[in-house]
Amino acid sequence: MSAPRLFGTNGVRGVVNQELTSELALQMGKAIGTVMKGTVAVAADTRASGHMIRAALSAGLMSVGVHVVILGVVPTPALQYYVKTRDNVSGGVMITASHNPPQFNGIKCISADGTEASKEEEREIEILFDTEIPTRSWDEIGTIDHVNEAGKEYVNAVLSNVDTDTIKNANLTVCLDCANGAAFETAPSMLKKLQIKTVTLNCNAQGEFPGRPSEPTEENLSDLITLMKNTNASLGIAHDGDADRCVFITEKGDFVSGDKSLALLAKLELSKKKGKVVTPVSSSSMVEEVVNKEGGTLVYTAVGSPIVARKMKECGAIFGGEENGGLIFPDMQYCRDGAMTVAKMLECIAIYGPLSEQVAELPVYYTQKRKLACPNGLKDSVIEYLKDAVTDANIDDTDGLKIIYDDGWVLVRPSGTEPIFRVYSESKNEAVSVSRADEYESMVAKFLESR
């Protein structure tokens, strides 16, 4: 149940020069290199600390004989595509803390097939991390090369997986917010190739994220929402810091939750081919209702894109993703892919019409999302307390606790990346959704106060 000591839901993260130091990065490089061997590709988002962490990690990799390929600043899925398509590359490392504030950074490991590293690979790295790792002699240390075309290659691959002619003929205009992050070059380039008029916001690379916080939540996207309300654009696009996720704003300036994007693009993919769609237990029941209506089958997993991706491979799913805007298109690759999400949404609008009209046709559910500060050491205790306290509903323990009622559900789960506890509540009755969120948030808060 507890998160591993180093790796959380999405790699190793921490505040730079506090938890995440150059010494840690150096030792991580040695451990990762000992496990992956051969050639390892390394990329980063735009964070100010990226050069320091990358340099230390690369030194560790080379010290154990690994050849390092530096891709520069590119989105996480661009690195993953590069690794996936090279037989001579044994893995990858992305220097990113995704949506976390700029004082954070992280180290995310990529397997040879381009997926995020498995828990088994992470455990092997963790075990080595705590040991004295042997290094090579001076004439056996690794070398380093720089590759500048990974972003361009990634964009071309994305475009090969969508109906570009239909998109071009739709004469769309978009407003693009890259959060001063890793999509600052690839996203405008892709839209240009699709002949889409683009108004840009926060599309310069700046690792302090001065334009807005890197998490693309509704409250963080006020500038983009205002821009959409004052233009005739067809779509607002907002990436997170490493551009593996994306959320949208309608042509009317309304925020579209990740659940709704997931449902709409599931519908698009199921219109082409029937099959399974995979999503975590945190996703709205709206997704299941849409998937069932379109002749598909929904499969639930624990939260975490690597878990979703591996379940998709296992069951041959045609599509999958999370409620945070991280969507996975297996025809491209088994990972969250912000550029593919943008391209598919543009195709969806070109085929089915304005986004606001598509959203209006979705089943209506009301979802509350809360979070409480919670020390990592108390996360297990919270779950055990709730297991004993809840006696009036069905329990699903796939991830945390999902308490299922006749008229909705509540999910209470620990974050795998931060010292917080999340409380989700959903119902077709808004008042029920709010009251249950209040109830469980209060239960968790009172328990934590008593410890």
Catalytic residues: 98
> What is the percent of the chain with per-residue pLDDT over 90, rounded to a whole number?
89
The pLDDT assigned to 81 comes to: 98
Please indicate whether residue 305 or residue 260 has the higher confidence score (pLDDT). 260
**Averaged pLDDT, 17-25:** 97
Same domain, residue pair 115 and 161: no
* Residue where a domain terminates, one of 129, 148, 167: 148
d(CA 220, CA 437): 22
Alpha carbons 73 and 52: distance in angstroms, whole number: 13
pLDDT (tens digit, 9 = 90+) per residue, 223-273?
999 999 999 999 999 999 999 999 999 999 999 999 999 999 999 999 999
Contacts of 316 (CB under 8 A, 6+ apart): 275, 276
Shared domain for 16 and 134, answered yes or no, is yes
Amino acid at residue number 305? S
Domain that holds residue 140: 12-148
Do 185 and 251 have their domain in common?
yes
Q: What does the block give as tokens for 115? A: 């997926």
State how far the Cα of 338 lies from the Cα of 324, in Å rounded to an integer.
11
Helix (H, G, I), strand (E, B) or coil at 36: helix
CATH number at residue 37: 3.40.120.10
Distance separating alpha carbons of residues 363 and 62, to the nearest angstrom? 53
Count CB-CB contacts under 10 A for residue 233: 23
Residue 1 in any domain: the answer is no
CB 79 within 8 A of CB 41: yes
Question: Is residue 139 pLDDT above 90, yes or no?
Answer: yes
Distance of CA 159 to the CA centre of its chain: 20
Q: State the pLDDT at residue 404.
A: 93
What pLDDT shows up at residue 62?
Answer: 98
- Return the CATH number at 445: 3.30.310.50
b/e map 302-330, b = 16+ CB within 10 Å:
bbbbbbbbbbbeeeebbbbbbbbbbbbbb
With CA atoms as reference, report the closest residue to 355 among 451, 241, 265, 285: 265
Q: Which of 314, 341, 360 is the last residue of a domain?
A: 360
- What pLDDT is recorded for position 2? 40
pLDDT in tens, 385-410: 998 888 777 889 899 999 999 999 99
Confidence of residue 3 (pLDDT cuts 50, 70, 90): very low
Under 8 Å between Cβ of 98 and 244: yes
Asked if 287 contacts 266 with a C-beta cutoff of 8 angstroms, the reply is yes
pTM: 0.92
Q: Count the Cβ atoms, other than its own, within 10 Å of residue 445.
A: 16
Same domain, 203 and 66: no
Last residue of a domain, one of 99, 133, 148: 148
For residues 302 and 378, the answer to whether their CB atoms sit within 8 Å is no
Torsion, Cα 69 75 78 82, to 10 degrees, reads 10
Across the chain, what does the average pLDDT equal?
95
- Could you give the C-alpha distances from 260 to 175, 324, 359, in angstroms and in order? 19, 10, 7
In this prediction, residues 124-135 reach a mean pLDDT of: 96
| Rg, Å, the chain Cα set | 22
Q: If you average pLDDT over residues 3-10, what whole number do you get?
A: 71
pLDDT number for residue 388:
87
Question: What is the pLDDT, as a whole number, of residue 390?
Answer: 85
Number of CB atoms found within 10 A of residue 232's CB? 8
How many separate domains does the chain show? 3
- Are residues 249 and 144 part of one domain? no
With respect to residue 435, please indicate whether it lies within any of the assigned structural domains: yes
Residue 366 pLDDT class (50, 70, 90 cuts): very high
Same domain as 62, residue 143: yes
Tell me, yes or no, whether 261 and 403 share the same domain.
no
Question: Rounded to 5 degrees, what angle do the CA atoms 277, 424, 14 make?
Answer: 90
Q: Give dist(CA 85, CA 81) in Å, integer.
A: 6
One domain for residues 332 and 205: yes
Verify that 199 and 285 share a domain, yes or no: yes
- Over range 423-435, report the average pLDDT: 97
Do both 39 and 103 map to the same domain? yes
Could you give the CA distance from residue 391 to residue 345 in angstroms, rounded to a whole number?
42
Judge whether 162 and 347 are in contact, CB under 8 Å: yes
Phi, psi of 244 (to 5 degrees): -95, -5
Mean per-residue pLDDT, 127-139: 97
Q: Two tokens at 366?
A: 């009301």
Please answer whether residues 239 and 181 qualify as being in contact, where contact means their C-beta atoms are separated by less than 8 angstroms.
Answer: yes
Q: 339 with 188: CB under 8 angstroms? A: no
